[in-house]
Structure 1
């Protein structure tokens, strides 16, 4: 699920894509309750869940690195992410635990793990990759989002963030090679060998140290923090997920492909290079899926159809990006994060109280949306929006004019290691280096 925001001037086509993806994911999950027969017929041909999340990941890849590079500051980036993700996440998890205690919903269980370990894993958002069961099934995508954040910051601090197309291609090729070689790992393979407790402890400490070092301190320490944060992502995604190794790599490749498209649109790379990366990622993803056998919850045809349609949907949105998008299409995107997190709690209550329908009930499916969307409008207004406002306010307070002597040097035109929070620029102010005027590149 993408957690991106498009800034003060929201991009309508991205909102439209987010809204569509969120509504499709809701259909995928609610069809278990209201349209079970139809679902059984549809899923082997079209995996609606994978369609929705792939659209989400493309949008996230498109906008998240741009958000970091526009700020030019790792510290404010992490503040923005924390206050974007956690307020609603905490509210939804709290409500879910409350209705579970009241007997209004059936919890998923902890698989014999300690409550403290599960709680810590969830706070890092990496629970899906730490061998810990998700309290809510939809939270698994947030683990991949967090890994993407860590990798984006790592590339930014070592000044390789413009290599998005190359990173996407490399990850896609690795996915295809692993699938062709028949590399199959059991779910949570790494934690199965080391134990979930030690892995959670190591990953949590690494994340705290990485984010702290990348956000504060001298440039060398910031680079160390950025690189340290990328290590858990590179290890956990391929070796400790619950989805196949190749699919985890494809997810990361898809997000970096979204970044490559953004760079092409802004002239940082050529459209030919972005198109070439897209062809490689799509070809490798399809080839990887073809090598993977069918199962109860996966069919090659359903996955491939969903993936290709997600890529085409993103391309269609990109084609109309300069056109005005009707508000009725863009509005669901503004509440898409609420839609994504709130709907499983509502479904859990319905399943535990009224039960699932034995026959398809389209009217009840429509009624579910009619209840869900106004509820999500409220959570967006009273939970999401205030959280984002608090984050922006805190970021302004914690970003001084110059963080370090390095930033003062940068204000004079010297370009030091990436990752330091630079000075605030006044409108119209130019930067000079060796007597030549230039403007900092905008993503």
Structure 2
């Protein structure tokens, strides 16, 4: 049995009941197989892959808090510090009922290589809780965040582990967590990113993942001799990533036809209006049914009715909601409708069989760890500003973000070509991200 297959079997055996983590490891190991085979004797002797697939630290803790009725509630908090070979752990905090160790480990594992691809000195980690901020008052969210940070603060620091936002964790939650960290430690440092602009946040951080996705998509199409201007796109999600992906798409001359949330989806033949979407989602924290009321020409569909957003004919598909949201049937619908590119704004939103089908059909595929790296890249830029006690302009940060995303496209393209996988950008992303981490791990000895 090959070294790659041996390691995958060990991962599945050691991490039972964690299918998302298994999926992430399998996809990664399959694509870096050519690299591993080239260095198999060395990697095996150093147990490099085993060390890479085993987190350096896994933390699980109780989070008790009191709701507005005086009732004590109990959630579970997590932080997985996966790999620090190239820098302090960096990765978001997800607040969602689906959170458990398997989700956090899959996200943390992906984060290692995503962070590596940015070219910035940051390692991989992830955290969160099964707490659901939806429907909670500001005071309830504050009490949860303060309790969560009362344990988490022991394990993080500006040069150790720097969490950020993720699904369910926006500016409000980051603010509450930062206030509690400062209160407990007495330290005013860049321990969290995605902070408000009044206390160390970075301009363009809010927009970064969505903007970065479009800078990446534009450059990926460009190296395939395709101009993004004038194209149509379908987008899933209506959170931070989706909103700013739609905004930047509009600026680049792309007409976005759809967006979605957990209850349904919108088709807007006039193009999704970002101002209306921001009003509904960011200010009112409402459902997309309100978008329909404000944009009467749009059509609202309940659930995944009529095939969901992936059943709408468009040139580009941008999944920006959550993991495994785009399955094989969706991929077939996209191909039948003539899609030319699928670039992932969410983490692992495309199932393995759907990914393979898209690649087989010649669809340009931009994997999440490369395509949505703009968020963590700008988080690292926020860390730099905090360390230097500086604040860069929006234009400065945006220019750096755009260059990072362009560099990622060319790095993954070059890595794919070097290992005989030209055009396979998922393989290129994994290979390019892996080589930097592997070299750092080897240089630092068995740790």
| Pairwise TM-score range, normalised by the shorter structure | under 0.3
- Which structure has greater helix proportion? 1
Q: TM-score, normalization: structure 2?
A: 0.27
Q: TM-score, normalization: structure 1?
A: 0.27
